[in-house]
Amino acid sequence: MLVKWGASSDTGTLRVQNEDSYLAQEGMFVVADGMGGHNAGEVASAMAIKMLGEAQTKGIADANQLAKIIEQINNSIFQTAANQTDQRGMGTTLTVLALTPSDSSTEVSVAVANIGDSRTYLLRSNEFRQVSVDHSYVQDLVSEGLITREEARTHARRNIVTRALGIEPTVAVDTWTLPLIDGDRYILCSDGLVDEVTDEAIEKCVKQQIEPQRVADQLVAIANANGGRDNITVIVVDVVADGNTTTSISSPQIKTAPAKKSMIKKLVASTAIAAVVVVAVVLVSSYLRSGYFVAYENAETDARVLVYRGKNFLWVSPTIEADSTLIREDLSFGLSKEISARPSFSSSADAQDYVNQIRDVVEQATP
In the chain, CATH 3.60.40.10 sits at: 2-240
Residue 168 has a CB neighbour count (10 Å cut-off) of 13
Q: Confidence band (pLDDT; 50, 70, 90) for 266?
A: very low
**How confident is the model over 136-167, as pLDDT tens digits?**
998 999 888 898 888 887 888 888 899 999 99
For residues 151 and 142, give the distance between their C-alpha atoms in angstroms, rounded to a whole number. Answer: 9
pLDDT at position 11 over 90: yes
DSSP reduced 3-state for 85: helix
List, in sequence order, every residue forming a beta bridge with 238; answer none if it has no partner: 4, 185
Q: Confidence band (pLDDT; 50, 70, 90) for 344?
A: confident
- For the chain, what is the mean pLDDT? 83
In our burial notation (b when 16+ CB lie closer than 10 A, e otherwise), range 173-191 reads bbbbbbbbbeebbbbbbbb
In the chain the beta strands, taken as DSSP E runs, fall at: 2-10, 20-25, 28-35, 91-101, 108-115, 119-124, 127-130, 174-179, 185-189, 232-240, 292-296, 304-309, 319-327, 344-345
Residue 341 vs residue 135, higher pLDDT:
135
pLDDT at position 116 over 60: yes
Q: Confidence band (pLDDT; 50, 70, 90) for 260?
A: very low
Q: Confidence band (pLDDT; 50, 70, 90) for 129?
A: very high
Strands in 127-130's sheet, in edge-to-edge order, are 2-10, 232-240, 185-189, 119-124, 127-130
Is the overall model pTM greater than 0.85, yes or no?
Answer: no
Q: Which fold has domain 2-240?
A: Phosphatase 2c; domain 1 (3.60.40)
Of the candidates 229, 134, 153, 155, the one whose C-alpha atom is nearest the C-alpha of residue 194 is 153
Q: Tell me the HSE value of 138 on the side-chain side, using a 13 A CA sphere.
A: 17
